[in-house]
Copies of this chain bind each other. A is one copy, B any other.
Amino acid sequence: MNRLSLNQITTERWSLAEAVRGCAEAGLPAIGLWRDKVAETGTAEAARLVREAGLVVSSLCRGGFLTATGPDERRAALADNLRAIEEAAELGTDTLVLVVGGLPEGSRDLAGARARAADLIGELAPHAGDFGVRLAIEPLHPMFCADRAVISTLGQALDLAAPFPAGQVGVVVDSYHLWWDPDLARQLARAGREQRIAAYQVCDWTTPLPADALLGRGHVGDGHIDFAALTRQVTAAGYTGWVEVEIFNEQVWRTPGAQTLRTLMDRHSTYVEPYLAPSGGSA
């Protein structure tokens, strides 16, 4: 379990303190934090809780929402992302996940939204570098293109990252968002060559989709994704970081946290861990 991390949205009903305690008791070495939970606790207190529990913060979710039009909205987005960078640094993680945002209300200008996101990432990148934090651009599934993220593929995220030093801007490989992409193997290899993989997040694609589609993610192994193949590709790309389990699912959220942790550790050992070693999973 030495590469496994709980993204705390998976235990959404737990406070930050409860999630930290839960990970420590279950023997998980790392946790991915969410800004709203950190804000409830206070950043300094959150950092202290994690440190005293002996955990590592694998990432902070999330900055972004960079597609707004208008100078006031742009300034607000910039200020909020600068705060997120500082919070990540204070929490001791080098990874700030960015969800770039969807189309502004009433707009159909996808190209414009993408250009504005690129522009703001350009402003943020050097600040992130100053704080030792890497912006991790997360492509979301194309079904979220209108309302959550106009960056939909790994190739697109890598193009967006390309102008910046790899230490300042990377990408998130999330199984749920990317598994369907016919170009995925090629883009994962490219991400490896360009040293851009900042995070590997896992959960499964289950059907049928619920309304709004946001909460339809399943435990690894409950759906259609081939985690052996995907994990081998991520490993072959040279990724040696955390495997963060991030599940948005009302039923998982209603399950007691300790039970959820047992399930994800069990699934990790079956579906992911054997394929993390450089030559793993050949058996």
Contact = CB atoms under 8 A, between A and B. Distances in A.
A226 interface: yes
A213 interface: yes
Contacts of A205: 146
Interface stretch (A65-73, A106-114, A235-243): A106-114
A142 interface: yes
Given A205-B146, A209-B213, A213-B209, A110 B180 contact: yes
Interface residue tally of chain A, by bracket? Answer: 20 to 34
A146 B223 contact: yes
A84 to B, nearest CB: 25
A109 to B, nearest CB: 7
B146 A143 contact: no
Interface in A17-73: none
Given A103-B224, A224-B103, A224-B108, A142 B180 contact: yes
A212 B212 contact: no
B224 A182 contact: no
B207 A209 contact: no
26 contacts: A108-B224, A108-B225, A110-B179, A110-B180, A141-B142, A142-B142, A142-B143, A143-B143, A143-B209, A143-B213, A145-B180, A146-B180, A146-B205, A146-B207, A146-B223, A146-B224, A152-B180, A152-B181, A152-B182, A153-B182, A208-B211, A208-B212, A209-B212, A209-B213, A210-B211, A213-B213
